[in-house]
Structure formats: C-alpha cells, structure tokens
Amino acid sequence: MMFGLLVLTGAGLFVAQSQKPEAATGPSPRLSTVPRPASSPSANDSSSTDKSSNDLTPAVVVLSPTTIATPATSETAPAPAASLEDVVSRVLPAVASISAGQSRGTGFFVRADQVLTNAHVVQGQSSVTLQVGNATYTARVERVSQSTDLALLVVYHANPAQATLRLGSVSSARVGEEVIAVGSALGVLSNTVTRGIVSALRQVGQVTLIQTDAAINPGNSGGPLVDRSGLVIGINSMGIQAQAGQGLAFAVAIDHATTLLSGGAMSATSQTPLTALTRAMGGPSETDQVRARGEQAYAQVLEWAARNGQQLDAYWDKYASSCVASSSRTGDHPWFAAFEPNGIRLNGTSAYNCQSWLDTIQNNAAAIKAEVDKAGEVARKSGVYPGVLRDVRRRYHMDWSGWDL
C-alpha cells in the first residue's frame, strides 16, 4: 500500500523576497541593491523536517515487539471496567494543550507539577505554556529524550489538586483491545477524543511503538493513549495518512518514560522513533533526507537569484546598446559576462556614464554569484549530486559553465 503524509508538529517556511529596482534614468543610472536571501540551512539542520511532514512510500514491515520493563512509577493493577464515557471524563481533566513557540501539541499530568509530552512538541524551547480547562500555566522543559521522542515538563505554581493519570505498561497491551487517544487536534481543538484498537506492537530501533487506528492528528502529539481502564499505555507521537483514506497512528510505549521520570541517564543515540519508523517502512534514509533538504534549500536560492537576474536583464537591455562595445556571453544571461575577466568592454563614445552603469552591473552580479556559490557549497556538503545542482540551475535559467569550477 502506498502511504502519503507522515505528520508531526508543523514547521514554518521562510521565503526570501526581492526588492523592486529603482527606475534607471539619466546618464548615471542606478540599480537597487540586490537583497540577500535567507541563509541556506546547513547540512546538519534538521528543523524543517520534523515539526511539519515527511513523505513515505513504504510497505509496512512487521517487526517482533520486545517486552520492556514496567516503569517503577507505574501503577499496573487494572482498574475496574468502566463505561467509555466514564473513562473519558476521568482522563480529560489531566490533559493539557501546549503552546511552544510556533509549535502546538498536547501533554498530560503524571504528577501535580509534572507533564509528559513529545520531544518534537517542545523542540528548541526552554519554557512552554499549558492550558488545562480554564487554567493557564507556565512550565519549564526539564528533560528531553530525542531517542524516544519524550520530554518532561515541570509546572510553575502547580495546583496541588490537579488531576493526574496513572501509568500502565505496554506489556499489558493486547492486539485488538480498545484504546482511546486524547489531544488537541490541529493544535486548536482541545479535548479531542478518538477511539480505536491496538493494531500491533512494533519494535523500531530501540523504541517500542503501539500501532493503532485511533485517529492521531497534528496537535495530538504528546497526548495520552489510554486503555479502557484509564491507564496510559502510550504517548501519541505520529500519524500516517494513507492514499485510500485509512490512517495509521503510532504511540511511544509509556514504559520509555521510566528513565525520564526517574532522572536516569538518557540514551546517547540520535536516532528518533520517526527515523527508525521511516527506515522500517522502507522510506528514505536520514542521508537521503539531508540530501533532499539540501536540494530544496539550493532551489530556493536559485529562485531568488532568478528574480534578481530578471531585474538585471532589464537594466542591461536598457543601456547595453549604448554602453557595450563587446561582451562575452557564456550563460543564460548577458550580464554573466561580468563574471569573466574583461568580459565587458565599454563604448567610450557613449553619451551615458557607462562606467557607472558597468559598476552597478558588476556589483549586483557579484552579489548574486556569491549567494549561489555559497548555496552550492552547502548543497554539496549535504550530499546533493553535481548533476542535480546543474538541473536546478537550468530549471531557473541560471546556467553558467563557471558554477562547476
């Protein structure tokens, strides 16, 4: 089956804008300074991917789950069976909506002053805002485990009467049993409740994931996955939307919160559950993802260069017939001749101040070249192939033989 969108918390997209050039008039024309584009992300920058989306073309690989120890803080004795409505009414008061910079997600209280959530929800933040019913709290990000995508928050001025949830264990989870996911769907619809079953238990890397068909949408990340006794067995982490409209969702087994809550040493691995799941499902490797981000960043700079190049084209066309005696055109734009030593020879009898015109051409051409060169170096360090870089330049009509030197 072909799969589409792998969703986590969203991330922003920044697009550099070009300024409009001033009209060139008179014998000493001027071109507006070419604006610099936003800095290209480095090869090690992984922020664009995580908090928004990743495309997968996987086939689900069935993996044998590994039973992991029950956390010392868990209360594993099952509660008496209750109606679905009763379970939900007990869970909701312990679930909080989280605002962490531009990110939105969910968390839940395990103690009056402690909240569990996903690491990707609070990524890069030292403090966050919690909304629980009509109450608003500030919490600091106490501990983060990237390897399990979990984070522990400590609440300032906590309410001693705050409702909390009891922790269960993935060892008690059975395929086919009913589960309930609670969270803030899309980051704004708090207290959203969905119901499903445990579809499978999967071991991906060092992390045990609970696969469920309970809907987990962006904003649900970090919320509890509870069984019919109201015990938390997982932390909702990611969802996959299939082309056929049937969704798959995954929660990190609650057992992984043991180390986080006890203050034990964290795993040194940098592999996240998302990375491990992507590999298990036949998706792109981390190297492929870095390469793809590098290509995208390079294309953004080339788009900026092409916009500014069109301004420079118009400026060239307006005065070149009067100012240029000869030029060596070696690429898609006539002003690329400015990249060559003595590539432009001026007409000494022109009525215009052609040297000033040439200075403007050369300065703006040099600014464009510097940014394209810098973006190319970053892309090469990201593993983008030279042929791909050439294809991107041709796509934006910015081809020139000197880029590859």
Q: Where are the domains of the chain?
A: 35-47+288-404, 58-283
Domain 58-283 in this protein, CATH class: mainly beta
Rounded to the nearest integer, the mean pLDDT of the chain is: 74
Quote the pLDDT of residue 364: 92
pLDDT score of 47 more than 60: no
pLDDT score of 33 more than 70: no
pLDDT class of 275 with cuts at 50, 70, 90 = low
The whole-angstrom separation of Cα 171 and Cα 76 is 10
pLDDT score of 261 more than 70: yes
221 is catalytic: yes
pTM (global) more than 0.85: no
Residue (of 389, 279, 272) closest to 59 by Cα position: 279
pLDDT score of 61 more than 80: no
Catalytic residue among 18, 74, 103, 221: 221
> Higher confidence at residue 356 or residue 74?
356
Quote the pLDDT of residue 69: 41
At 79-88, the pLDDT tens digits run 456 788 888 8
Beta-bridge partners for 144:
151
Quote the pLDDT of residue 55: 39
The whole-angstrom separation of Cα 382 and Cα 289 is 9
pLDDT class of 320 with cuts at 50, 70, 90 = confident
Quote the pLDDT of residue 5: 37
Cβ proximity of 350 and 318 under 8 Å: no
> Higher confidence at residue 392 or residue 217?
392
Quote the pLDDT of residue 324: 85
Query: Long-range contacts of range 269-272, CB-CB < 8 Å, 24 or more positions apart?
Result: 269/147, 269/205, 269/206, 270/146, 270/147, 271/147, 271/205, 271/206, 272/119, 272/120, 272/146, 272/147, 272/149
Percent pLDDT > 70 in the chain is: 68
What string of H, E and C letters represents the secondary structure of 309-336? HHHHHHHHHHHHHHHEEEECCCECCHHH
Catalytic residue among 50, 145, 147, 149: 149
At 166-179, the pLDDT tens digits run 999 888 888 889 99
Kindly state the tokens that stand for 364. Answer: 């703006």
Q: Which amino acid does the sequence have at 181?
A: A
Mean pLDDT of 220-228: 88
Quote the pLDDT of residue 164: 93
313 is catalytic: no
Catalytic residue among 50, 103, 120, 237: 120
Residue 352 phi, psi (nearest 5) = -90, 165
